Chains A and B, each alone.
Chain A
Amino acid sequence: MTWTWFHRLGSPPYVYRLAGRLTPWFGWVAAVLLLGALYDGLVIAPPDYQQGDGFRIIYVHVPAASLSLMIYTSMAVAAAVGLIWRIKVAHAAAASCAPIGASFTVVALITGSLWGKPMWGTYWVWDPRLTSELLLLFLYLGYMGLRSSFDDLQRADRASAVLAIVGVVNVPIVKYSVVWWNSLHQGSSLSLTGKDTIATPMLVPLLVSILGFTLFFAAILLMRLRAEVLRRERAASWVREALSS
């Protein structure tokens, strides 16, 4: 049962139509979640004991940073699937991830910088987490640059896939840099296994925010995926049908 579903995901016309139907769902649910998280985070959540109202940057900074890592990982996985099983749709998905991931990385760096100034006294410090997040941005840009330097789309897909996979080593470095090194950046407040160190009324808008941005990413990804799928389908007749609808 599951394998037919997986095979259908490799079919461009199926993906094109499915993506088209799913995009508005993801988009609107994301909008509702984000507006809710916005109100909760800015108005309802109590000010922090140490950071006052400044801590509210957390509701944009942490989702941006989490998403920058999650998107890169997805991109690398999609690239690997495309490379190993030679599935065009997977390459299309990887290509679609990159600009979105890069934009979230930029947001993470800027919001982090704006949070650092009042809290640490400086807009930037070369500590492991900030440095590796900056490197993540360079990896995204390098990936997009490598793609655009090839005329042949297939070669662009496969070469950039190798780069994406090699670069994924940076993701655990960003994530665990606060554990491995003495970093100025604070340690993890969220944990999948242990107890969270953040108070619940402050935690809820953060989780909703992360979920909302994830769904937002999905919606944008699906839009870009449809565009990439169309690019890769040269002579297919389904394209004519799909576009006239």
Chain B
Amino acid sequence: MSQGPSSPLTAARLVIARDLLLAFRRPEQLLQPLAFFVMVTTLFPLSVSPELAQLRAIAPGVLWVAALLAALLALDFLFRDDAQDGTLEQYALSGQSLTWLLLGKTAAHWLLTGVPLSLMAPLMGYTLGVPASAGAGIMLTVALGSLALSFIGSIGAALTLGVRRGGVLLSILILPLAVPILIFGSRATQLAIGGEPYTAPMELLGAIVVLSFTLAPLAAAAAVRISLE
């Protein structure tokens, strides 16, 4: 491996490339959150009502709750493999900024989970009676919201690293912090479905994204160092 100082940005890009490569060697893991999303979404027509009109009314909420749960499930995998095989420790000891490395990992995580979810969401929206014209809006809102979720979730994932059966605790910790994303995201989706302009909640969502991807890796890095002690 080549040595020598490289910029944190390069390091982050290398981490993204590595994580993407590793993920594509085991595509089944990528499909799990997606399958979960599809299944949770289908629970609602089965348990609430098959009436498209009724489903359309609850569609934003259903899509977002399902996406949130799928993202929480996927967050479990964010650091687990690397923590177990010692890679995370190597990152912490490498002398590179752990913050940037984790930013890279989390960005890769979003590319692997959030983006597929946002591509799947309009499809599931269609099954819930949402007109196809709203597809682009749904994709955009879920993409942005899942990005914020990945970053905020990375803090929880880092905090629960050393904990047995930390998955449930992770969800409990993340939920209060994820609520604003849920609120603005589903509001944006609702407006998009109604054909109305959804710039206002999108801007707020965008602000949350900017805040979370600048600050969350810092907190996650601190939490990872604590877990590795």
Where the two chains meet, the residues of A that have a C-beta atom closer than 8 Å to any C-beta of B are: 83, 131, 135-136, 138-139, 141-142, 145-146, 149-150, 154-155, 158-159, 162-163, 165-167, 170, 173
Contact = CB atoms under 8 A, between A and B. Distances in A.
Interface string B146-169: 000000000100011011101001
B179 A163 contact: no
B172 A145 contact: yes
Given A155-B226, A159-B226, A146 B176 contact: no
B173 interface: yes
Contacts of A163: 155, 159, 173
Interface of B: 155, 159-160, 162-164, 166, 169, 172-173, 175-177, 179-180, 219, 222-223, 226-227, 229
B226 A158 contact: yes
A148 to B, nearest CB: 10
Given A158-B226, A159-B226, A165 B219 contact: yes
Contacts of A131: 179
Nearest to A139: B176
Nearest to A162: B223
A150 B176 contact: no
B163 A142 contact: no
Contact of B169 (A138, A149, A154, A170): A149
Nearest to B216: A166
Contact of A138 (B159, B163, B164, B172): B172
A167 B177 contact: yes
21 contacts: A135-B176, A138-B172, A141-B172, A142-B173, A145-B169, A145-B172, A145-B173, A146-B159, A146-B160, A146-B169, A146-B173, A149-B160, A149-B166, A155-B226, A155-B229, A159-B159, A162-B155, A163-B155, A163-B159, A166-B155, A166-B177
Contacts of B175: 138
A158 B179 CA distance: 25
B176 A149 contact: no
A135 B227 CA distance: 26
A130 B209 CA distance: 24
B205 to A, nearest CB: 15
A180 to B, nearest CB: 11
Contact of B227 (A141, A155, A165): A155
B162 A162 contact: no
B33 to A, nearest CB: 23
Given A145-B173, A146-B173, 5 more contacts: A146-B159, A150-B162, A158-B226, A159-B226, A162-B222
Contacts of B226: 155, 158-159, 162
A203 to B, nearest CB: 33
A159 B219 contact: no
B223 A159 contact: yes
Contacts of A162: 155, 159, 219, 222-223, 226
Contacts of B155: 162-163, 166
Interface centre among A136, A159, A167 (most CB of B within 10 A): A159
B216 to A, nearest CB: 8
A4 B155 CA distance: 36
Contacts of B222: 83, 162
Contact of A167 (B162, B166, B176, B180): B176
Contacts of B179: 131, 135
Contacts of B173: 142, 145-146, 163
Interface centre among B162, B163, B176, B177 (most CB of A within 10 A): B176
Interface centre among A131, A142, A149 (most CB of B within 10 A): A142
Contacts of B177: 166-167
A138 B223 CA distance: 20
- What 9 A-B pairs come out closest when comparing CB atoms? A138-B176, A135-B176, A158-B226, A142-B173, A149-B163, A162-B223, A159-B159, A139-B176, A159-B226
Given A146-B169, A162-B223, A155 B176 contact: no
Nearest to A160: B159
Contacts of A83: 222
